Amino acid sequence: MNLLRHLLIKLVVLSVGFLSAGDILANTPEQVVTAFQRDYKYWNDQSFQRNQNDGKQEVMLQAQKGWNELLKKYTKPGFQGEPIAFGSESSHDPEQEKIISVQITEKIAVVTTKLSRQYYSPIYEYQLSKENDTWYLSQIFLVDDDGKYPSL
């Protein structure tokens, strides 16, 4: 019995090593959005740092690879995203981008956020759909007075 318990503990520890906290905890639209913000900020900051230090072509290849991994993690298979963009200030950051509203109707959700910045505080509208008990991002819109602009 002790051997079985020992093996089970090893299996759990090994499994957790392959999963991020977002993978384990992202059961609601709000949790998916917050996990995406965290992963996006990490991707943006890493891409920007590489851009400061490495050759441009290699940076763009690595940034695109990371972006494709983000899309694979948070969207349904086959989703075609917008061209990549990263910078010194991340467009998404769970510390600065706060959820201001959530609307859920069965398998569709809209999570609206506001990113607090000194001179510009953009509003984002995260659209999600639910399939097989999993919430997926279907689009993120930057919302301003002139309309909505896809940014995922």
Give how many domains the chain has, as a whole number: 1
Q: What CATH number does the domain containing 137 carry? A: 3.10.450.710
Whether 71 contacts 140, CB under 8 Å: no
pLDDT for position 12? 38
| Phi, psi of 83, rounded to the nearest 5 degrees | -60, 150
pLDDT for position 17? 38
In a domain, 59, yes or no: yes
Q: Write out the two tokens for 18.
A: 């392959």
In a domain, 126, yes or no: yes
In a domain, 100, yes or no: yes
In a domain, 6, yes or no: no
**Model pTM?**
0.82
Q: Residue-wise pLDDT tens for the chain (152 aa)? A: 544 444 344 433 333 333 443 454 579 999 999 999 999 999 999 999 999 998 788 899 999 999 999 999 999 999 999 999 999 999 999 999 999 999 999 999 999 999 998 888 999 999 999 999 999 999 999 999 999 999 99
In a domain, 50, yes or no: yes
Task: Tell me the C-alpha distance between 111 and 86, whole Å.
Answer: 22
In a domain, 16, yes or no: no
Boundaries of domain holding 33: 28-150
